[in-house]
Structure 1
């Protein structure tokens, strides 16, 4: 029974290798499917760069900064 399992897995690996190497045709991600899509997606003249205000920066994370202490109250447990 184990021999059949090993044979099936080996056959599945051979089929996967053949599919990746292009035996069944090119893969879907191998070429541009919509060549003009990127030209229409981003319009650089519509983008406006502006600095954010301090109120808007309250939600922004500070990379590399100290982690703020959570506002959790603790007390000793009584027995």
Structure 2
């Protein structure tokens, strides 16, 4: 049985823009916290780290002043 935890970036207010993740040594699963029965997306750990890094780079490039991009490190699964 997976243990799900809510993202620390759960959106404004009551966290209504949130995902949950469950991780194990062999996979990282992601689901919508508003509708957990709708399905999950599952990644191998290395692919999940690359996915999070890409999201952080995209977010940083939108938020950073011109000529400056500072990406956050992806969270370590586990």
Q: TM-score with structure 2 length normalisation?
A: 0.25
Q: Name the one with the larger strand percent.
A: 2
Higher relative contact order (CA 8 A, sep 6+): 2
Q: Name the one with the larger helix percent.
A: 1
